Chain A
């Protein structure tokens, strides 16, 4: 049983002229097996939350805490966070030319589990996971994200989620740019990972359509750098009908 706890998190970024506060006191708790949807309009700070938890150097945490099972996540380096059991499926995964997917996956698996995976079972696991995500075999010998389409990049992110078996997974707009079939395939991957590893999922999205495939236990509406409203799945349904106008209007 793992718990990711975010308390009164304030995060800033340096812009050209000054420092801008983006997260203004976020409180959130994600436990193993739970699915939390974070929804909100563009620019509300959803992705900043994701990257701050993962430790991207662009974001400066000015106050607040993030802990995983009581351990101070903010004191850890990016790779230590991943080895502690956090995973971020990125919205725009970067290309790493010349590093094959096979080599990358094995290196990452070795790093997070502390030992090299057994070759025979590992190869089988990778093949099976790729088949479930409808990824061709030749994928494995391509460079990481090199020349991948948008949909291929997202499948590759979920492939990693399934193989690296994190305690808590943050999915940053994994649904963006996917057609209906790809969205279903990717969502099934997330559900498989959660079913197998009891992963806690923090699902960041702008739209409600992914919630048809991944059922949230909790929905948090993110506006202007903090949670404006929280509820169960019914809140997502209401957002689908009303959009975010209600929250944006309140700010004026």
Chain B
């Protein structure tokens, strides 16, 4: 009888839809991509790419409307990287990002000029470039940012989202050959904010791209982080950390389009959920094209459900069109907080709230280590501790 107590078998739950979606009706590559808003009708919620999202709360933001006056302020820490803004089709704008949903098409259509951050070729930026985006309550914005790293540039760009309002946003990233670029997007919105974003990177030959999504605040946050390759030998890492509280919907969709030979990709997303109506979604699509010989890819999503009433959806999809790959795998699991871990730590004198903190920090430890940037990690750990403190008093 003791065995039942002591075999800790964390209840793993994968959304049943995941099994179905593992064999999609058609290739991920066939999904609509267009600069024209009219190509994306208002979603009703049964579409494959909207089926987890509370679209009934998005009718305002998905209306074809321009940006409100004073909806948003944007501050860039290093003015030397600000290049003249780009109109549609001007410079690299539109070479990496073609909108994949209505929100992204709106962000494009209503951004006459896009903020253009240009990281000079062969330049190593010692300090992170910080972009502070602050939204105003009750207002909507549509934004498009182009981040261009020249060949062999080394840089870290941190986008920090705070404030309120409703926002569609595109982040278009062009990584030059041999460049090393890390783009961090931190979502620390107020409780009522809505943020629908497409972050799309075109990664050059032998370049290294890292995209890190940290999503903690906001009513509805949905980030589609996509990668495709401009040449062989490139390496893309997509990392994510999220913490969903009561009534928060935090959704991350990653899509790696392996369209070039001998490229690598690694996707690691981890999330914790607590409180009634906390909802997280992770959908990880990987397409290995016929031309992508020698591809090496792995994607992983893990969710830790801390309380009753929270729901995590996790759907990995892997399409392989070539027989010659170096590696391809995925893993996805959602587990309840393990009370046996709590008992073990408490039996060593550690008070319950601190034991919980240890377990949650431990859960995130590997993705935090992968992020490895103190500028990101330190405030993130502090924010997670704060989230847990809120959970304690709730």
A contact residues vs B (CB 8 Å cutoff): 13, 15, 20, 22, 43, 47-48, 51, 54-58, 77-79, 81-83, 87-88, 90-99, 103-104, 107-108, 111-112, 143-144, 160, 164
Contact = CB atoms under 8 A, between A and B. Distances in A.
B347 interface: yes
Interface of B: 1-2, 5-8, 338-341, 343-352, 354-355, 358-359, 361-366
Nearest to A173: B2
A146 to B, nearest CB: 9
A79 B352 contact: yes
B362 A78 contact: no
A13 B5 CA distance: 11
A97 B362 contact: yes
B361 A90 contact: no
A13 B364 CA distance: 34
A94 B346 contact: no
B271 to A, nearest CB: 14
B352 A112 contact: no
Contacts of A20: 1
B241 to A, nearest CB: 13
Nearest to B7: A92
A70 B21 CA distance: 62
Contacts of A95: 8, 341
Nearest to A113: B349
A79 B361 contact: no
B372 to A, nearest CB: 15
A15 B1 CA distance: 9
Contacts of B5: 51, 56, 58
B193 to A, nearest CB: 30
A77 B352 contact: yes
A79 B341 contact: no
A79 B343 CA distance: 8
B341 to A, nearest CB: 5
A93 B344 contact: yes
A93 B351 CA distance: 18
Contacts of B340: 94
B346 A99 contact: no
Contacts, number: 100
B50 to A, nearest CB: 34
Contacts of A87: 347
Contacts of B361: 98-99
Given A83-B349, A111-B349, 12 more contacts: A43-B1, A47-B2, A54-B347, A55-B346, A57-B343, A79-B352, A93-B344, A96-B345, A98-B365, A99-B362, A104-B348, A160-B348
A104 B346 contact: no
A98 B364 contact: yes
Contacts of B346: 55, 77-79, 82
B349 A96 contact: no
A95 B339 CA distance: 12
A18 to B, nearest CB: 13
Nearest to B364: A98
B343 A78 contact: yes
B362 A143 contact: yes
Contacts of A47: 2
A47 B364 CA distance: 33
A79 B1 contact: no
B275 to A, nearest CB: 22
A94 B354 contact: no
21 contacts: A13-B1, A43-B1, A51-B2, A54-B347, A55-B347, A77-B346, A78-B343, A82-B349, A83-B349, A94-B8, A94-B341, A94-B343, A96-B359, A97-B365, A99-B359, A99-B361, A104-B348, A108-B345, A111-B351, A111-B354, A143-B362
A102 B363 CA distance: 16
A92 B347 contact: no
Contacts of A43: 1
A56 B345 CA distance: 12
A99 B347 contact: no
Q: Which of B5, B354, B362: most chain A Cβ within 10 A? A: B362
The 6 A-B residue pairs with the shortest CB-CB distance, nearest first, are: A98-B362, A98-B365, A82-B349, A99-B362, A111-B349, A78-B346
B341 A96 contact: yes
A94 B6 CA distance: 8
A47 B8 CA distance: 17
Contacts of B344: 90, 93-94, 96, 144
B2 A79 contact: no
B354 A107 contact: yes
A97 B351 contact: no
